[in-house]
Amino acid sequence: MVFAAVGVFLYLQKTEPPWYARLWYPLRYTSIVRGHAAHYRLDPAFLAAVIEAESKFNADAHSSAGAVGLMQLTPTTAKGIAQYTGGHNFHVSDLTNPEINVRYGAWYLRHLLDRYDQNEQLALAAYNAGEDNVDRWQRQHVGIQFDETRGYVDKVERLQKIYRKAYASELGY
């Protein structure tokens, strides 16, 4: 009996049918994700995957590095985005607001994709490790030099496929 249960579990993990993926990878704030993905010309599964990787859709998430909210933006980065996009009176507490956090994060992802010629891997690496590191790696003609960042890029790419398959109708495919 135990072997059968383990076998079924392993099979489901490998095949990840949509119903199973939905159990492990919930989608929250669907209208916010779809809206900002459309506005910033992002794949909604890509945006959802970044949110899952960063915060598991927890709007109140805080990291030890000081990042806040669904997309784990640092207050410094968010303040810069707010000023660049015409926002005034930025408050750190804004980052726990899903609408604001996803808007800023989506804007930043679009900025990174444009900066790195639509290369999702480089944009994700910059989102995780910073633009200065990615720029240096590009100048040195080397790949991603941080194990954590390579793992992050792989994770988001895997999650993007899962979200696209599991939530096709919700994300507008």
Annotated catalytic residues are 54
Residue with tokens 């999702």: 120
Give the SS3 label for residue 52. helix
According to DSSP, the residues that pair with 1 across neighbouring strands are: none
134 CB neighbour count, 10 Å cutoff:
25
Task: Give, in degrees to the nearest 5, the angle at Cα 44 between 32 and 173.
Answer: 115
For residue 42, give every residue at least 6 positions away whose Cβ sits within 8 Å of its Cβ, in sequence order, or none.
36, 106, 109, 110, 113
User: How many Å apart are CA 70 and CA 55, to the nearest integer?
Assistant: 5
